[in-house]
Structure 1
Amino acid sequence: MLAPRLGGSRLGDQAVVDTNDDAQLSKLSCVRHGYFQDAFVHHFVRRPTRRSPLINRGYYSRYAALRNLLLQFLAVGKQGNGSSNGSSGHSGSSSDGSSGSLAGGSAAQPASQAAGNPAEQPAQSTGQQQQQQQQPADPPPAAAGQAGSQQPSSAAQQQADGQQPQGSGPQQQGEAPLRRQVLVLGAGYDTAYFQLAAAGIRADKYIEVDFLQVTQKKAAAIQQLPDLLELIGGPDAASSISPEEGRIVTDSYCLLPVDLREPGQLAAALEAAGLDPAAPTYVLSECVLVYMRPQHSREVVRWLAEHLHCAAMVVYEQINPHDAFGQQMLLNLESRGCALLGIEATPSLDSQRQRFLECGWHRAETRSMDHVYSQCIDPADRRRIERLEIFDEFEEWHLIQQHYCIAIGVKDSSGLLARFGLPQFAQPQVLLPQSAGLGGGGRMPPPPPPPRFMM
């Protein structure tokens, strides 16, 4: 989805910036093989490359989980106080699962289907999906992880219409609808804003920041491509674009150059973009902090906690550098000039969680991508993508997924984000006949997962 960036020297910076191209190649490979849809990524790829099934599946799991969280945030306050819960709720600073719908089966189906149980949605052709994606839609309620979908109550319906029932949360009836903001650190050539805007799903303010050389190229592309320009305001927005400065500032979308190692640059950029510190804000850091030295990354995490009143920050990055696979991962990246300067400060799930808590976030949860893929992605969509390509690299698959994680920090005194987090989908139960000795309709635990590679 997004590219890693921010190394420790100019040479390291450029090597990390260059991985942006790798990220777009992986995304386009997934799109071409039907893992998810993205009508804009081809604008940022010069020579398409076919990735291996291993890379495609890994990128799909990353995309699906992170898109779920973004859509879940954009639905906050629309249905119930906070997002609708999945199969289990939050339990303090570390949760075994919480709310969330994977918009229409993670990413392949249109977001407007997420209000129901994904497992009950009929299969759709690619043409049907594309046709529905063009229809404007409100952000979906985050309830796809529930077994069965029910009609919303009248109170929830009021919230879906932009109102808040009296006494149900911070926003009282008659007040203006909640503003929702998105801030993407190290956004690269990410196209999430354009995908969502084309589907009629918008944040009130969507801000992307990155190195100057990245924002210059992205601003120039948006200025020159009519389908991108249209989604930030059309020809009227052209005057808001400065490719030389790498800047776009409109009412809804902003792109600004920032070196996150310079504390004042982020503050100045957010002020220029018109970010409201009091409005709920979603912050995404996808393989960004781990390329920075620990003192710089912690300063960013702490500054955001101090300046945002209600926020969720989602971090995707590498962990577990000390085993054999982790050591080889480090060597491979260092050979490309992309040293993971921050991984020793956050080498584990617990250290990722502690960074949030020590920097002023109210609660935090962390999960390996191995757990996320098996427990936090809609099982129906998992089955769909697992039929797309022949896949037999299970040992390496589990190893790679165990060396990446998603960490979530939440700062929220109002309770608006009380249920925000990774969803937990109920695992299927197996019905047994009476002859199995459990009586009619007896149930037994699901079969064990495939064997995992043991170090």
Structure 2
Amino acid sequence: MEEAFKINQKSSKLRNDSAVQGTNDSSVLSKISAAQLGYCKDDYLAHFASKKARRSPLVNRGYYIRAKLIDYVIKEFLHQVSEGHSQIINLGAGFDSTFFRLKDLSLLANTFFIEIDFPDVINRKINLIKNNPILNEFCSDLETVKEINGNKVYQSLKSNLLLIGIDLRNSELLEAILKSIPQFNENLPTFLLSEVVMTYMSVKSCNGLIKWISETFTNCVLTVYEQINPFDPFGEVMCSHFNKLGSPLRCILKYPFEDDQKKRYKNEGFSDVFSIKASEFYQYCTSDKEKKRIDDIELFDEYEPWHLKCSHYILLSATKGNFCSEFIRNLYTNSKPKIDTNKHLNLIKFDSSHINYKPYPIKFGSRFGHSLCSLGSKLFIYGGFGELATDPFCKHLRLASVEEFNLEQMNLNVLELPVNSLGDRIFQDCTTTGENSMVVTLGRSNPSKMFESIVRVNYLENNIQTESINIKIPRFRHAVCSIPNSGLFIYGGKYYDETTNTSRILNDAYVLDESNNLKKVFVDENIITARHSMCINLWNNFLIVSGGLDENENPLSDLILISIETYEYRKISLNKVGGANFEQNPPGICFVDLKKFVAYEFDVPNENRLMLVCHQSHLIDKNNLLIVGGGAVCFTFGTHLNKQPSILDISKCWSEISQN
């Protein structure tokens, strides 16, 4: 029985190791996809794959930011050591092409480059190099120089390259092999890289490796790129994905957040630890010109999942020795922005204890990027991406249906509309314009197919009438608000230009009256910047525009007050409000007192897997906020949909506000 248990343990370990090695093959194809489209330059990676794959724009961006982050640190290291000798050790290198790229750039003249991975992976890589004339030209003298218990060591003296086939969990054997190589020197400035590698190791094995590195090298930087934040909906989908692959993220639950990771490396012997989230790097360290270049490569309209993905990955550098600590400290310090404390609006934050969550008893609205409006006690949910309420197979698709939910009678009805009257729109708007009427405006189907039309819907019992009007201002992710006695105010959004195959962010505004006359109105571009994905509401005689993304994909942190009488503009600054942002904690519910110029933000309990992204909300009464829909495509990991509406009891929030 004991022997059988040991065999099962061994076979389980082998399955896990094989699954981890399999992530290398998938990752290589994704990197190739990004490189071939021009996101990043890599002329060598394609030689390590027998096939090619075109990944989605979201995945291409994800691998772009991964490559940029690692290059950001490794090239700075090489710049700092350019006048002396150094070492680079790529832990779990897989089919990574970093050596060939850097060699081609003449950056490795005095650098001893070491790659380490499972024996099977290294053996496959050696065969690929030897059988490819372009790769082999760099290291034609590559040969086996050592073999211990099946762990082969290959070396090219010509290129100063060493490849070691070994399990990283065996640090004692790894140390013995390294110290047997004459070119290896633990006292040289050494850059060690773990690119989504150590996260697959057990906590004990991983910490053992980290400790071995801190004790072995006197002047080093260990740079790690891996996942964080496992407890929110995106993080849960991410962890579930790797569990299904058989390669679970073994350390993330023990060290879930950025600060936990930094303390970990300190505890294992490193002098200083610095980190930056991928989201921070893209926002603060990527030029506007580079962002524009990336945006022009291919159509992209997955901003919320992009921000979520980037907020779940960090680049961390742990250092030993004065030389490495100093330049890494400067590198990371310069990458973080100075916080602007000169806000015009005072923000007071509260924890999630003030909000009570309860699921709504009826399931509907399982979608995101949709619109919602109310007529009396009825809610109408239209468009977006998600699941049909009547589909037993829960197939994901763009939706052309309208779900009608009666809040009083608690029943759901899927409306039968005239064929093709609305279309399968996403990121459109739906606004109530009368007792029995609403207007659906613009939106898109795919990012290159925009709608130029509005559809007026008159709703009477058992009689639905629709009228489509082409207003010829195509856009999506815009904002619409009904102005009494004037019509619909339509502002901003995103536009795709088929002639140039590029998109642009709009900063224009129109008023559409009841007779479908469209009038362009003044926009003060000195006060309000072009944006999309914002909100707009009516308050007294003002339209209030809040949030959104600017043309450089930065989350906007302002409120714009627009007079509906004079179209004068006023700007009020505050912290991020709503949707997806670059912070560790997702935004909560923000109450803004425009008379006192005070904002109160309350965290939302996240143990209920509620993703407050691309959702819609409806205030049932002063104390109860209904959340309908919401969710996102979670990178390559799957899709999260809020399966049923939720009610957030905000009565305690009002009590707290009244006391301030």
TM-score, structure 1 length as denominator? 0.68
Matches within 5 A, 1:409-428: 409-413=318-322, 415=323, 417-420=325-328, 421-422=331-332, 423-424=334-335
Q: Aligned with 1:396: secondary structure?
A: helix
Aligned length in residues: 333
Query: Does residue 267 in structure 1 map to residue 175 in structure 2?
Result: yes
Cα drift, residue 65 of structure 1? 1.2
Alignment match of 2:300 (pick from 391, 394, 397):
391
- In the other structure, the counterpart of 1:449 is 555
Matched, 1:228 2:139: no
Match of 1:377 among 278, 283, 286: 286
How far did residue 205 of structure 1 move?
Answer: 0.3
Larger CA Rg, structure 1 vs 2:
2
Q: Specify the alignment match of 1:190 in structure 2.
A: 96
Q: 1:347 to 1:8 in 2, by over 3 A?
A: farther
Query: Where do residues 272-291 of structure 1 align in structure 2 (5 Å cutoff)?
Result: 272-273=180-181, 274-291=183-200
For residue 282 of structure 1, give the secondary structure of its aligned residue in structure 2. strand
1:85-138 CA-to-partner distances (Å, cap 9, x unmatched) read xxxxxxxxxxxxxxxxxxxxxxxxxxxxxxxxxxxxxxxxxxxxxxxxxxxxxx
Aligned residue identity for 2:165: P
CA distance in 1, matches of 2:526, 2:250: 56
**Paired residues of 1:64 and 1:377 also in contact (CA < 8 A):** no
Q: Specify the code of the residue in structure 2 equivalent to 1:31.
A: A
Counterpart in the other structure of 2:34:
30
CA displacement at 1:242 relative to structure 2: 8.4
Measured in 1, the distance between the counterparts of 2:12 and 2:191 equals: 26
Aligned pairs (5 A) from 1:193-272: 193-202=99-108, 203-232=110-139, 234=140, 237-240=141-144, 246-251=152-157, 252-272=160-180
Question: What SS class does the counterpart of residue 63 from structure 1 fall into?
Answer: helix
The alignment partner of 1:408 has SS state of strand
Give yes or no for contact 2:34–2:40 (8 Å, CA) kept in 1: yes
Residues 347-406 of structure 1 deviation map (CA, whole Å, 9 limit, x = unaligned) = 100011111111111111122211122123344322211211111111111111111111
Q: Secondary structure at the match of 2:18?
A: helix
> Hey, what does 2:366 align to over in structure 1?
none
- Aligned-partner residue type, residue 163 of structure 2: L
Q: Within 5 Å, give how 1:53-452 maps onto structure 2.
A: 53-78=57-82, 162=83, 178-202=84-108, 203-232=110-139, 234=140, 237-240=141-144, 246-251=152-157, 252-273=160-181, 274-413=183-322, 415=323, 417-420=325-328, 421-422=331-332, 423-424=334-335, 449=555, 452=579
- Matched-pair contact (CA < 8 Å) for 2:74–2:191: yes
CA distance in 2, matches of 1:330, 1:8: 19
Unaligned runs of 5+ in 2: 1-10, 339-524, 528-548, 557-577, 581-586, 588-611, 613-660
3-state secondary structure, aligned to 1:49? coil
1:418 is paired with a residue whose SS is helix
**Residue 339 (structure 1) shift:** 0.8
1:332, distance to aligned residue in structure 2 (A): 1.2
Tell me, in whole angstroms, the C-alpha distance in 2 between the residues paired with 1:399 and 1:284: 24
Instruction: Give the Cα–Cα distance (whole angstroms) in 1 for the partners of residues 179 and 101 of structure 2.
Output: 26
Change (3 A) 1:44 1:242: farther
**How many angstroms apart in 2 are the aligned matches of 1:338 and 1:229?**
32
> 1:310 and 1:326, CA in 2 relative to 1: closer, same or farther beyond 3 A?
same
- TM-score with structure 2 setting the length: 0.48
- Could you tell me which residue of structure 2 aligns to residue 105 of structure 1? none
Deviation at 1:68, TM superposition (A): 1.5
Work out the percentage of aligned pairs sharing the same amino acid: 30
Partner of 2:318: helix, strand, or coil?
Answer: strand
Kept in 1: contact 2:278–2:311 (CA 8 A): yes
SS at match of 1:220: helix
- Matches of 2:53 and 2:81 in 1, distance apart? 41
Measure, in 2, the Cα distance between the counterparts of 1:347 and 1:416.
26
Contact 2:278 2:310 in 1 (8 A): yes
Distance (Å, rounded) in 2 between the aligned partners of 1:389 and 1:8: 42
State the partner residue of 2:501: none
CA distances 1:163-182 after superposition (whole Å, capped 9, x unpaired): xxxxxxxxxxxxxxx21110
Q: How many Å separate the matches in 2 of 1:215 and 1:272?
A: 19
Query: In the alignment, which residue of structure 2 is the partner of 1:81?
Result: none
The Cα of 1:225 is off from its aligned counterpart by 1.7
| Preserved contact between residue 151 and residue 166 of structure 2 (Cα < 8 Å) | no
Contact persistence 2:280–2:336 (CA under 8 A): no
Which one-letter code corresponds to 1:17 in the other structure? Q
User: Counterparts of 1:190 and 1:205 in 2: how far apart (Å)?
Assistant: 16
* Structure 1 pair 400–238 and aligned structure 2 pair: CA distance change class (3 A): closer
Which residue of the other structure, out of 2, 18, 25, is the alignment partner of 1:21?
Answer: 25
Deviations 1:184-222 (CA, angstroms, capped at 9, x unpaired): 100000011011111211152000000011000001111
Higher relative contact order (CA 8 A, sep 6+): 1
Contact 1:318 1:343 in 2 (8 A): yes
Contact 1:223 1:241 in 2 (8 A): no
Distance in 2 between residues matched to 1:254 and 1:77, nearest whole Å: 20
Alignment match, 1:47? 51
Q: Aligned partners of 2:116, 2:212: CA distance in 1, in Å?
A: 16
Q: Label 1:358 to 1:239 Cα distance change in 2 as closer, same or farther (>3 A).
A: closer
* Conservation of the 8 A alpha-carbon contact between 2:270 and 2:318: yes
After TM superposition, give the deviation of residue 263 of structure 1 in Å: 2.3
Cα 1:313/1:28, change in 2 over 3 Å:
same
Which string of whole-angstrom CA distances, capped at 9 and with x for unpartnered residues, describes residues 248-281 of structure 1? 1133100101211122132123224432111000
- CA gap of 1:239–1:45, structure 2 versus 1, over 3 A, is closer
**Aligned partner of residue 124 in structure 2, secondary structure:** helix
Contact residue 219 and residue 246 of structure 1 kept, 8 A: no
SS in 2 for 1:184: strand
Q: Tell me, yes or no, if the aligned pair for 1:216 and 1:247 is still in contact at 8 Å.
A: no
